[in-house]
Amino acid sequence: MRRAALPVCIWILLMCQVFISFATENLIKNPSFEIDHNGWAAYWHTRSYWEGENDVSYTLETNGARTGNRYIKVSTNRENDVRVYQYVKVKPMTVYKLSVWIKAEDIPSGGIGANISIPDSYSYSRDIKETHGKWEQSVVYGMTGRYQTRMPVTLRIGSWAGFNSGTALFDDVRVEEVTMRPAGKKIDSFTFSEDINDEKIQKYFARVNNIRYKSKNLSISILYAILLLSSSILFTLYLFFVRGKRKTLDAIIKFSGEKLYYIFIAILFIVFYIVYIQNFWEITVYDVQLSFLIIMVMAAGVAAYLFRNNQLTPANLAKILIILGIAIRICYFLYTDPGTRQHDIWGAWNHIDYIRHIAKNFTLPAVGTYETYHPPVHYILSAIPYNIVRLFGMQEDYSMRAVELLMVFFSALTLIFIYKIFNKCRINKHALLIGVALACFHPNIIYMSVYLNNDATVFLFYIVSFYYLIKWVDDKSLKNVILLAVFTAISMLTKKSSIVLFPVLGIVFIVEFAKHRHEWKKYVKQGLIFLVIALPLGFSYIIRNYFLFHQDLSYAVPPLGTIMPNNPFNLFYVSIEELLKKPFVAPAPHENTFFLKMLIQTSLFSVFEFPGLEDIAVIMVACYLVLIVLIILNFILFKKEHMKDKGYIFLVNFVSTLVIYFRMRLYSPYDCTQAFRYVAPFIMISLCYFTGRSMARFSSTKYPVLNTIIKGQFWLFCLFTAFFILLIGPPV
């Protein structure tokens, strides 16, 4: 009998072993929160965007758990990104299943609800906003990277682009390795490193998600893009520089004018986007840097050719710099996705929500909350590429990348119009070159070129308005005054801050009227035409919001952050030592108390931090401080001829912008309102102009060594800015 029982026992043990081997291990420690450590769940950590005492609460509850005796409760009274997280060890290139049971209540429909996610990978489960007192499970599958060994499993209310409020209860968290993927389940990426570029991972994603994978040789794709870019640039430059050498070419130029240049740039951006969406998983930092280096070598070749033929004038060199300026913006675009180094894209009715609403509904928002107080032109224009990409059945990420690329295109057009403005002003040829170079390589303008907010759009329309103002001063035709009025109105319909242009327009009109008093009837007529077009159109959205939401011209989203003192020491003190020691804005708001210091910091690096690039940043700050000193000296050593060539227009724009900005700082003394980005679209044209003037003046003294040093530090600033941008790399 005992002998007969032995095989049965062995069989039972073997079957138990089989079942044990198939049972999946939960990698989470304390998954049901039963282990209490000082009143909180052991092994779990907390974090949120807003962490004030009255903003968010985390509690370990004991009444009503799904299983066991405990669960955690997370509540936030304001729109927030609230996280309870734990790092777990994982295997590279392995699929994992994340799951959690959730009760949710009072979570609004605008943002992202309660979910489980891997934050830095932008992968999260189905978000839950209301469960009516019941427990619901939320699940997400994903694969780790080639070298990945850990990941932050996060229980969450909201996300980086979808802040939200309300209450969520979490229980029974599981993270388990998946050997056989359930049918019909999508596999996301859990990696938060460059491992996502690995071809083996991409083949796996394509296979398990039932997507056709096209194996591509990246170098060939990049080569095609470079060849296309090269041919476009070379042909465009050929049209620019060889005018009149051939009759057919001359005829083409007379027929198309500079419109041909804009057409080439537009085609270039469209083709670039097509190449990008086919290869974006595979593009590495090395590819981006190598592409820019090749374009620099080509540009140097064009410059050498022009020099050999005695055509390398400062104006032609400025055009080559514009090409490089466009290229560096495209490189920055490749590093910056819609969730990276952006502003105000979280919470209900953020900039993305505004674009999405117009794209889907073709109507203006029926609310005046958060970013919807902004006029609609930027969001209407952004909805065009958004919808075009969606027509091809692509995901929203591709649509938002198309919007970002549209902003890069706007930034490219802005560079061209800045060149045209300086050329119209007939300023010193070296001043023109310096001014255009600063516009091409000023880091703040480069960051702005991919913002999803309205900064890049209003910058373009403000510069175009400025261009037609300069044209009107030279040629007071009816066409110019109408175009000036239209673009001024469009600027106002893009961002209310464009009102800084009106003092400039008023003073220019008075000056020109005084010069030509005998033609007073003509000026009165044109002034009335301008007002009839610009005022009703430009202020139409402001009037709409005033009647609908009682928002006047000065209304803005109430700022949040640390209140700064309004005293002379806080406003005007600058520590050079501190600037060089800490070039980036401090993450702690109480350290950003000095207005001018933060203004300089944010003009170069915005409110972002760039770990590992501090040394280059210090060099950029030092060179930038020299430029500021030269501009101040140029103002101190003022001469009447400085206001010739329409110089007074740039001065009025500079002063009026600073006055309005300074007033905003006094009436709204928060750390966030000290950022340079609030004035960048309006003051940069004047800053570039006076930098060019100052450099041209102080680099042409009777001291050759001093001249070389002054010129060298400026070009060093431009060079290190390019290095800085190229070294930023993608988000990790």
pLDDT(14) > 90: no
What mean pLDDT is predicted for residues 142-165? 83
**Which of 208, 237, 262 is the endpoint of a domain?**
208
Q: In 3-state terms, what secondary structure has residue 77?
A: strand
Is the distance from CB of 382 to CB of 409 less than 8 angstroms?
no
pLDDT at 235 (0 to 100): 52
* Beta partners for residue 82, in sequence order: 48, 157
Residue 590: half-sphere exposure toward Cβ, Cα within 13 Å:
0
pLDDT at 240 (0 to 100): 52
| Predicted TM-score of the model (pTM) | 0.72
pLDDT tens across 549-575, in order?
Answer: 888 888 877 666 667 778 888 888 888
pLDDT(202) > 80: no
**Which of 165, 189, 208 is the endpoint of a domain?**
208
pLDDT(147) > 70: no
Within 8 A by CB and 6+ apart from 732, the residues are 120, 192, 193, 194
Neighbours of 128 (CB within 10 A): 20
Residue 141's φ and ψ, nearest 5 degrees, are -110, 145
Domain for residue 722, yes or no?
A: yes
652 shares a domain with 508: yes
- Give how many domains the chain has, as a whole number: 2
684 shares a domain with 543: yes
Domain for residue 550, yes or no?
A: yes
pLDDT at 236 (0 to 100): 53
How far apart are alpha carbons 670 and 673 in whole angstroms?
5
Band (256; pLDDT cuts 50, 70, 90): very low
Residue with tokens 């041909």: 260
State what percent of residues in the chain have pLDDT above 70: 81
What mean pLDDT is predicted for residues 388-400? 82
pLDDT tens across 280-310, in order?
Answer: 666 777 778 888 888 888 888 888 888 888 8
**Which of 191, 208, 225 is the endpoint of a domain?**
208
Domain for residue 262, yes or no?
A: no
pLDDT at 196 (0 to 100): 42
pLDDT at 95 (0 to 100): 85
Band (603; pLDDT cuts 50, 70, 90): very high
Report CA 336 to chain centroid distance, whole Å. Answer: 7
Sign of dihedral through CA atoms 65, 67, 71, 77?
A: negative
Cβ burial of 573 (10 Å; 0-12, 13-18, 19+) is middle
pLDDT tens across 610-660, in order?
Answer: 888 899 999 999 999 999 999 999 888 877 666 666 889 999 999 999 988
pLDDT(11) > 80: no
Range with the poorest average pLDDT among 42-51, 355-364, 441-450, 666-675: 666-675
DSSP string, 167-217: EEEEEEEEEEE-SSPPTT--EEE---SGGGG-HHHHHHHHHHTT-------
Q: Between the CA of residue 567 and those of 151, 575, 594, 598, 663, what are the distances in Å?
A: 47, 16, 10, 15, 13
What mean pLDDT is predicted for residues 68-76? 94
Residue 661: half-sphere exposure toward Cβ, Cα within 13 Å:
23
pLDDT at 506 (0 to 100): 93
pLDDT at 182 (0 to 100): 62
How far apart are alpha carbons 390 and 249 in whole angstroms?
40
Residue with tokens 């995901």: 395
Q: In 3-state terms, what secondary structure has residue 97?
A: strand
Band (481; pLDDT cuts 50, 70, 90): very high
Domain for residue 16, yes or no?
A: no
What mean pLDDT is predicted for residues 676-683? 91
The sheet carrying 45-48 orders its strands as 45-48, 82-89, 150-157, 114-118, 123-124
> Which pairing describes strands 82-89 and 136-143: parallel, antiparallel, or unpaired?
unpaired
**What is residue 454's DSSP assignment?**
S
- Find, among 138, 143, 142, 147, the residue nearest to 168 by Cα: 138
pLDDT at 247 (0 to 100): 45
CATH classification at residue 103: 2.60.120.260
How far apart are alpha carbons 154 and 145 in whole angstroms?
18
- Name, of 121-125, 205-209, 698-702, the range with top average pLDDT: 698-702
What mean pLDDT is predicted for residues 579-596? 73
pLDDT at 590 (0 to 100): 52
Cβ burial of 565 (10 Å; 0-12, 13-18, 19+) is exposed
Angle, alpha carbons 584-344-82 (nearest 5°): 90
* Beta partners for residue 41, in sequence order: 36
Domain for residue 89, yes or no?
A: yes
Domain that holds residue 711: 336-728
Is the distance from CB of 419 to CB of 322 less than 8 angstroms?
yes
Q: 252 or 506: which carries more pLDDT confidence?
A: 506
Domain for residue 259, yes or no?
A: no
pLDDT(250) > 70: no
Q: Between the CA of residue 646 and those of 270, 421, 501, 594, 655, what are the distances in Å?
A: 37, 10, 15, 34, 15
Residue with tokens 């209003």: 458
Average pLDDT, the chain: 82
204 shares a domain with 340: no
Band (185; pLDDT cuts 50, 70, 90): confident
pLDDT at 433 (0 to 100): 94
Domain for residue 507, yes or no?
A: yes
Domain for residue 244, yes or no?
A: no
351 shares a domain with 202: no
- Find, among 109, 54, 55, the residue nearest to 82 by Cα: 55
